[in-house]
Amino acid sequence: MALFGTKKNPSSAKASEGKEETPEASTKAVAVSAPTTSRGLTHVLKSPRITEKATMHSEAGVYLFDVSERATKRDIMQAVRALYKVTPRKVRVAYVPSKVKRNMRTGKSGIKKGGKKAYVYLKKGEIITLA
């Protein structure tokens, strides 16, 4: 049994013999995936990161968010602009590594999930109210 035969498909040969191909008949419908901006930006920002360090930064106009692993700086800027109605001046992204933690009660080890966080810098006078 050969994988790549030399014989042509007989049904396609008969169809092409008697008819001329029109441009409409030769084109095929191809499914194209939508770009990331058209499918919505609600998946980009997971949650605001509320920590002591983030609270200190928010006084200076810098806000921290947990973001999707696949989110880019441009996606993060567009999501903040759409959800909070403010224009970010700059976005910086940092990766949070996963860590192995030991449970003190049971002595078993587990993995603390890492992720990605974004520092969003706003213009002076603009604030985001996080609840």
Neighbouring C-alpha atoms within 13 Å toward the C-beta of 70: 4
Alpha-carbon separation of residue 39 from 58, 72, 81, 92, 126 (angstroms) = 30, 15, 16, 23, 27
pTM: 0.65
pLDDT at 22: 54
Domains of the chain: 39-102+110-125 (3.30.70.330)
Per-residue model confidence (pLDDT) at position 40: 72
DSSP 8-class letter at 78: H
List, in order, residues 6 or more apart from 101 with CB less than 8 Å away: 109, 110, 111, 112
C-alpha torsion sign, points 11, 14, 17, 20: negative
Residues 65/42, Cβ–Cβ less than 8 Å: no
What is residue 12's predicted lDDT score, i.e. its pLDDT? Answer: 58
Q: What is the mean pLDDT of each run of 10 residues along the chain (131 residues)?
A: 66 56 51 48 91 93 94 95 94 96 94 94 90 70
